Structure 1
């Protein structure tokens, strides 16, 4: 991807060759999307995470428009920033890998959910049902293990991002600072998504105690609403309770929870897939800029 040459200007007008200012429409769009994502970090329901994935799609659409600007391409191709841009590419590769883990986790959970629903419809008997439920829960443990590894990778990315530095060049600082912010907010959204897919067992002890404290100071109806917030974990909890109690009479309730979980997984998977494609596009664009 070839960038357009800079127009030669008198030294007194050198600032005209800098990257788009905060008033530029593209930069304003990126700032708006970043602010929307930062403002929505506290909620952890399926709808809020789906909303964040949609916001990420909008954010990367704006980033793509920014990357098409000749001056933005010149900033990324600047020799002084080569090391940081390579780190950016390494980060995008890790983000793609994390997205792959999330997609695999959703697919595996969806397939197990559908299989269990099929078993429930066939009503193969209490013993057969118990065995199938145990297989489902075993599969979910494997999903959590993979997610735990992905979360550690995201934490490593966060630490590296916070300690990175780049040359203070007037034409490149704005661009690189923006892309650092985009990467940081992407990491946080993926952390929320992975934690949601994993369920409460993936939360740290401090998070669990914080949740317990929160429940103790809320009304019962608020507690119930919070418990309903994660459809995937609700299905897991219902099935764990089923195995623990040995009471297989209330399969209708189990079917409802599994249906809710499946619909939730479908929505998250669609949002993740759309974002995944945009992340690939952004990476390819940066690679093309460096290879010009």
Structure 2
């Protein structure tokens, strides 16, 4: 994943958009929703709530696209024979986003299941005084497999981004131009948000090193609190990893074992909540992408 560090991702700068057909409310609403998302460019390493807000904003954008595609003047323009190639290109793009959103959603679901299984194992180990090492190692191996899937998705998104950057808008009438520009802007910001989501979930699985001991010990002190600066530099995935590593590193010592288990459980709960929010956001985006594709297919079949 070294080639996909947060610094290597170019966040798309959403421009302030002014569409030709401003008289229609759907056009104005689409402009407003896309311009809201331009704040996304300010976050080089977004936190969970920022990513969730981005996914929610994408839903609003694609709902506006639905409204635009329902306009008779737009449907008539797209249905014209000379624009059949354009519609086919839009359809091809829509299926790519549907596939990648589906793949990411499925992997996120697996991650949520893995987190919950580990939570259950922690509860059982505490009740029966059993070792948790095998369960944690299984979770780590599962995370490594997921990172490979996330890496594939990042490569796909980068390829789509490069293709969009190389394309140009056609010389078409104003109503159709408005729709094409909305779809183009929405595509680019979708890429940026999904890239950030994948990078968030692809944090390297931490390995115990002497240099990390001060941080690890702070995480399992009373209250399980690290310094403010350290907390700001970690997301929920990394925090859970650290707590689990502490649990394994100190498993031979009974001193503070219950507190370490509680700390790991709390951080897994935080991660479970975040992953659940991501799953809901991806599900909403997936439904919107399906609706957009159906609308384009209906227009093409007219």
Which residue of structure 1 aligns with residue 195 of structure 2? 191
Which residue of structure 1 aligns with residue 78 of structure 2? 76
In the alignment, is residue 179 of structure 1 matched against residue 183 of structure 2? yes
Which residue of structure 2 aligns with residue 157 of structure 1? 160
1:20: how far off? Answer: 5.8
Which residue of structure 2 aligns with residue 34 of structure 1? 34
Of 233, 236, 242, the match for 1:231: 236
CA deviation map 1:5-44 (0-9, x unaligned): xxxxxxxxxxxxxx96235321121111111112124331
Distance 2:125 2:170 in 1: 66
Distance 2:287 2:111 in 1: 22
In the alignment, is residue 265 of structure 1 matched against residue 268 of structure 2? no
Of 119, 144, 156, the match for 1:117: 119
Q: Secondary structure at the match of 2:21?
A: coil
Which residue of structure 2 aligns with residue 217 of structure 1? none
**After the TM superposition, which segments of 4 or more aligned residues of structure 1 sit over 6 Å from their partners?**
124-127
Q: Where do 5+ consecutive residues of structure 2 fail to align?
A: 1-18, 206-226
CA deviation map 1:53-105 (0-9, x unaligned): 11111111111111000111123223333333322212211111111122112
CA deviation map 1:93-123 (0-9, x unaligned): 1111111122112211111111111111111
Q: Secondary structure at the match of 1:238?
A: helix
1:140: how far off? Answer: 0.5
Of 93, 103, 106, the match for 1:104: 106
Distance 2:282 2:27 in 1: 24
Taking structure 2 as the reference length, the TM-score comes to 0.77
Q: Indicate how the Cα distance of structure 1 residues 247 and 162 shifts in structure 2: closer, same or farther if over 3 A, else same.
A: farther
Taking structure 1 as the reference length, the TM-score comes to 0.80
Which residue of structure 2 aligns with residue 55 of structure 1? 57
CA contact (8 A) 1:231 1:261 kept: yes
Q: Where do 5+ consecutive residues of structure 1 fail to align?
A: 1-18, 202-219
For these two proteins, the number of residue pairs brought into alignment is 254
1:130: how far off? Answer: 0.5
Which residue of structure 2 aligns with residue 9 of structure 1? none
Which residue of structure 1 aligns with residue 212 of structure 2? none
Across the aligned residues of Structure 1 and Structure 2, the Cα RMSD in angstroms comes to 2.2
Which residue of structure 2 aligns with residue 210 of structure 1? none
